[in-house]
Structure 1
Amino acid sequence: MLLYRAKNFFPTGHTANAQRSAKETSSFLSPFYSLPCMNILENPWFFISLWMGGAFLAALLAIKLRVPVAIVEILVGAALSHFLDLSQPTEWMNFLSKLGATMLCFIAGTEIEPEFFSQSWKKHLLSGSFSFLVPFTAIALITHFFFQWQPAQSLIAGIALGTTSIAIVYTSLLERGIENSSLGKTLLASCFITDFGSVLTLGIFFTHWELSSILFGLFAIILLWFFPKILRSLLRFLKKSPVSEPEIKFVFFMLTFLGFLASMAKTEPVLPAFILGVLAANSFSQDQLFRRRLRAVAYSILTPFFFMKSGFHISFPMLVIGFIPLLLLTFLKTCFKIIGVLPYLLLEKHPLKESLFGSLLTSGGLTFGLIAAHYGIQNKILSREIYSLITLATLLSTLIPVFLAGLLLPRGEVPKEKKVFVKKELGEYEEEG
């Protein structure tokens, strides 16, 4: 089954040259793998030190280049996998990357402002729904009928490129001091609905619906219903022993147990993790120190495994072979995001410049897009070539539109009461977007 034909976009000679180049690269590195010292790659201690060293290097480059560290981690992971000629990740790498993705979804859910969202979600339901459904539907149809991808592959492409990022939007609004404006509140509420729609769609289409799935799903729903009722009082009690960090242990227990229920229900653990984060948002907003400690654990150890593992499967030759479809996917996502968001912002009587700014800003989305693509290649739905196209398009559609949005509405003077907050909190949102 041929999922993607590069000759549809390039002459056969270009494809052959790229394949020959890849083989030459492999043959160039292959003599080094026969050396005795290369056996140390089988040592897990060395391998994890190499992996965390790559994460540290990515952090340094991100600071120097002033780009999101997640993007650099993805590229470092791709470079490591190609240089070391590792065709398949180890089982513990797969598990840690899944745990990192689950933590990212949980933290993304905690970014929601509960009081504001409970008051405005009905008002912004339409904008958030169109923000996801328009690019999702368009990209799924185009990749299926024009690229000749299989239905499941097209659905994953639509989900991955239909997402947005609360972290990117919130950070950009903070930088301009307009997070509490009408435009800021509209974008944040729409982002939550968009992200929830993407996670829900992934769960609906790729859950193996059986009686056991329904039973485990109902048990997870009951557990989630009780969670906010006990969390606040439990956190007050757990603070009596701050040294052992019992609150963080409790969060990890809930996430891993819900992940177990999700696996038994034959679905992805990101959906209950995201809902759990939303339910915990109120408690997190009242305890900023707890939020920072949990993020420190997640962003320093777990999320690098997810982002670097996301880069693990990227095929660099696809930058040459699939250059045109890559640009086409990036262009399609940006255009259909604007089509889905811009009319609503104009109807809300926002100026055209601000409406374009908000529309471009919602095009950026790393976490949920990468999670959808990662699910596809993890479950052998996507080939490495298609995965590379989706992942690289996700990166480009995050960098280019957000850069253009910054040109439309440059950073203004942030109010004095906001300056300390931005300086203190901004790094927390880098990891996702």
Structure 2
Amino acid sequence: MNILENPWFFISLWMGGAFSAALLALRFKFPVAIAEILVGAGLSHFLDLSNPTEWMNFLSKLGATMLCFIAGTEIEPEFFKQTWKKSLLSGIFSFFLPFFAISLFTHVFFHWPLARSIIAGIALGTTSIAIVYTSLLERGIENSSLGKTLLSSCFITDFGSVLTLGLFFTHWSFFSLLFGLLALIILWFFPKSLRSLLSFLKKSPVSEPEIKFIFFMLTFLGFLASMAKTEPVLPAFILGILAANAFSQEQLLRRRLRAVAYSILTPFFFMKSGFHISFHMLLVGFIPILLLTLVKTSFKIFGVFPYLLLEKHPIKESLYGSLLTSGGLTFGLIAAHYGIQTKILDRETYSLITLATLFSTLIPVYLAGILLPKHEILKEKEVVLKKELGEYEEEG
């Protein structure tokens, strides 16, 4: 029997790769997600693992679903209530301008089929909440007017990207509408009962019933989404948003859930995202990758920069915020991952989109850091940074 078919060897290889990625990220100070993608690409090429097994695909989907749920819980309910109306226009422009620009550009100039162009538009129209939050936190401005505006805008942007993916690629039928309605009913009652349920479940802290309940909700909604022939990430993100208020009061639960997700599940998603990358496309497709990066970044700036100026932020801060919103990993990779699993994307176009997602995250965020260097942060801010940075680095 081929040694790679032994599940014990394969899972040790997988977790060893995730551990190696964590070491690389610590050594070179870049996001763990990028390191896991690169390690996954390396395993795929050197061990000929380009065709993952069914259980690997499932764990990858579960990791993506968990990521979307956690991203939804990152919302701060109080300031979002205060700023969402102001940030609505910015969030809409932040997603839809690059979405339409990339979709049109790839359809007209690359001659991609419409479905492939839409996937590219969704993947490159997103913004990483983790990257934005971490950068604001490092500068001690997460509670400033600029920080609140950017974070509220990010939530609207990401909701738009997940909703667009669900709407465009749902196979509408009577049964999809029926299962979708059932999911909406569950989501409606979920926040009304969550807080009291969490208080009751605390009576048995050793068995972690709260985390089991979250996994039950995510997997059951994933079942309903699969029966409705749509993506499980959409109800997972909405569930996270609805749970945000309760999670804001349950920081320990949030940390425990992240520990489970980031140590076991998300490496399956990020490393499998690297499985389908062709290193050959990094050479032959370098110009298209740069073009996609340029189009995305330009339209992100065009969508966010004028709004920040209208909100009376200085030009330097407005440009900083615009560059920061260009960074997007998780939802971009989820869209690309969906594309290759459904065979809308082939390996070459998947590689172009994924590499453009990485480039359009690293370059603008690096330029934003140069434009607005870190301010002196109060000692208490440094304590918060040490506590929080590890929580957000996985996604962004």
After TM superposition, is the score higher than 0.5?
A: yes
Percent of counterpart pairs with the same letter?
84
Unmatched runs of 5 consecutive residues or more in structure 2:
none
Which segment drifts farther, 299-308 or 115-124? 115-124
For residue 69 of structure 2, the aligned residue among 99, 106, 109 is: 106
Amino acid at match of 1:237: F
Deviation at 1:320, TM superposition (A): 1.1
Deviations 1:178-222 (A, max 9, x none): 011110011000000000000000001000010101110010001
Deviation at 1:87, TM superposition (A): 2.9
Amino acid at match of 2:245: N
Determine the structure 1 residue equivalent to 2:346.
383
For residue 99 of structure 2, the aligned residue among 126, 136, 141 is: 136
Determine the structure 1 residue equivalent to 2:42.
79
Deviation at 1:119, TM superposition (A): 2.2
For residue 262 of structure 2, the aligned residue among 299, 320, 339 is: 299
Distance 2:273 2:63 in 1: 11
Amino acid at match of 1:364: G
2:199 aligned with 1:246, yes or no?
no
Q: TM-score, normalised on structure 2?
A: 0.99
Determine the structure 2 residue equivalent to 1:20.
none
Determine the structure 2 residue equivalent to 1:343.
306
Amino acid at match of 1:321: V
Task: Tell me the matched-pair count.
Answer: 396
Determine the structure 2 residue equivalent to 1:168.
131
2:252 aligned with 1:315, yes or no?
no
Which segment drifts farther, 420-429 or 370-379? 420-429
Determine the structure 1 residue equivalent to 2:167.
204
Distance 2:379 2:318 in 1: 26
Deviation at 1:367, TM superposition (A): 0.3
Deviation at 1:104, TM superposition (A): 0.2
Deviation at 1:417, TM superposition (A): 2.5
Highest CA radius of gyration, 1 or 2? 1
Q: Secondary structure of 1:244's match? A: coil
Runs of 4+ in 1 over 6 A off after TM superposition: none
Distance 1:319 1:169 in 2: 27
Deviation at 1:264, TM superposition (A): 0.3
Distance 1:413 1:269 in 2: 42
Deviations 1:358-400 (A, max 9, x none): 0000000100000000000000000000000000000011111
Unmatched runs of 5 consecutive residues or more in structure 1:
1-35
For residue 53 of structure 1, the aligned residue among 12, 16, 22 is: 16
**After the TM superposition, which residues 323-338 of structure 1 pair with which residues of structure 2 at under 5 Å, given as runs?**
323-338=286-301
Q: Secondary structure of 2:264's match? A: helix
Distance 2:186 2:377 in 1: 42
Amino acid at match of 1:165: S
Determine the structure 2 residue equivalent to 1:44.
7
2:199 aligned with 1:233, yes or no?
no
Deviations 1:47-70 (A, max 9, x none): 110011000000000000000000
Deviation at 1:86, TM superposition (A): 2.0
For residue 378 of structure 2, the aligned residue among 415, 427, 430 is: 415
Amino acid at match of 1:65: F
**After the TM superposition, which residues 280-291 of structure 1 pair with which residues of structure 2 at under 5 Å, given as runs?**
280-291=243-254
Amino acid at match of 2:251: Q
Distance 1:275 1:415 in 2: 35
Deviation at 1:246, TM superposition (A): 0.3
Distance 2:14 2:230 in 1: 28
Q: Secondary structure of 2:86's match? A: coil
Determine the structure 2 residue equivalent to 1:183.
146
Determine the structure 1 residue equivalent to 2:183.
220
Deviation at 1:118, TM superposition (A): 1.8
Q: Secondary structure of 1:381's match? A: coil
Amino acid at match of 2:177: I
Deviation at 1:331, TM superposition (A): 1.0
Q: Secondary structure of 1:317's match? A: helix
Distance 2:302 2:139 in 1: 24
Determine the structure 1 residue equivalent to 2:330.
367
Deviations 1:392-416 (A, max 9, x none): 0000111110000000101111123
Amino acid at match of 1:265: A
> What is the RMSD of the two structures over their aligned residues, measured on CA atoms?
0.7
Deviation at 1:418, TM superposition (A): 1.8
Deviations 1:100-150 (A, max 9, x none): 000000000000011111222111110000000100000000000100000
Distance 1:310 1:259 in 2: 20
Amino acid at match of 2:32: V
Determine the structure 2 residue equivalent to 1:21.
none
